[in-house]
Amino acid sequence: MARKLHTPAGLKYGSYLIVLLILADVLFLFMSVPTATAGAQSSVVLTLCCFIGIILVVLFIFFLLFLYEMHRGKREFGKKHESKASTALILIILSIILFVVSFVVLIIGMASAIMLTPDGTDPTIEIDAAGFRNQIIIFFAFLLATTITMSLALVYYPLELTEQGKRWMLWTGFGLQIFPPVLSMILVVASLPGSGVLDLDEVEQLDMNTAISYATYVVSLLGMILFFIAYRAARQRILDGKIQPVLAQPVQPPPPMAPPPTWGQEPPPATVEEPPKWEELEPVDEPKE
């Protein structure tokens, strides 16, 4: 019976995961365009939000299946693939931690930047612009680190299973994934109050939200398409037999032993070599006196 391989199943779930990410990016892009949502009814927007929520739930399920199958099959295609798969799992765990920490830092920073100045019975709220700017910079730095680690993990999983001439798709997809948060970080930090770099009041034609949305979703969409092509190609190489799994050699059984004698049966007599007879001995000359 042939042994079941987990890696092709993991790449299949990874392809489904990427398709759902592409679909979510398309819906987010549609909702971010002002001309598409300006005349839309609230029920249409609510329907899109519910649909995105369902996609995220299914996406999380495929994400767990993808990690499970790739971890089970990390030893199926040699030591290099095993090393890359183990590193990818560590990067995914690190990216999840960084993602949680980034939002914790953002919430704590926004809370610390708000200062309450009591004025009788009507307190006024003031925002520390410098502190708020620093917290936003820290938030985007953590968000950039999260994107880098997650995208690098998506590169490492199929890297050793991809042809040398097609690995550029993985690295190009990686670059396209980290470009949007870098651009968003530059635009947001430059437009913060007190930065002195970009004044949105003077540049009225620049819509910051639209620019960031287009840069994030469109570029990320192109990177995900390259990831999808690379994952499908790596899985097809395995199914076509172009990559042979490195399975453990079967243990050779010990040589069969002679069956023990049955009850009441005497063991065969041991063969004893008889000494030569007297007549067969050669005469030896006696020493002369």
pLDDT digits (tens, 9 = 90+) for 153-212: 999 999 999 988 889 999 999 988 888 777 777 776 666 555 544 444 444 444 555 666
User: Of 219, 207, 227, which Cα lies nearest the Cα of 182?
Assistant: 219
Q: What are phi and psi of 38, to 5 degrees?
A: -65, -45
Asked whether the predicted pLDDT for residue 266 surpasses 90, the reply is no
Summarised one tens digit per residue, pLDDT across range 211-225 is 666 667 778 888 899
- Under 8 Å between Cβ of 185 and 141: yes
| Mean pLDDT value across residues 62-75 | 91
Instruction: Note the pLDDT of residue 147.
Output: 87
Alpha-carbon distance values, 109 to 92, 119, 149, 184, 278 (Å): 26, 24, 24, 19, 112
- pLDDT band per the 50, 70, 90 thresholds, residue 30: confident
User: Of 47, 48, 4, which Cα lies nearest the Cα of 26?
Assistant: 48
Summarised one tens digit per residue, pLDDT across range 116-160 is 455 545 555 555 555 666 777 778 888 888 889 999 999 999 999
Maximum CA extent, the chain: 146
| Mean pLDDT value across residues 262-274 | 61
At 85 the three-state DSSP class reads helix
Amino acid at 209: N
Asked whether the predicted pLDDT for residue 36 surpasses 80, the reply is no
At 288 the three-state DSSP class reads coil
Domain ranges across the chain:
7-239
Q: How many Cβ atoms are within 10 Å of 181's Cβ, its own excluded?
A: 21
Q: What is the pTM of this model?
A: 0.70
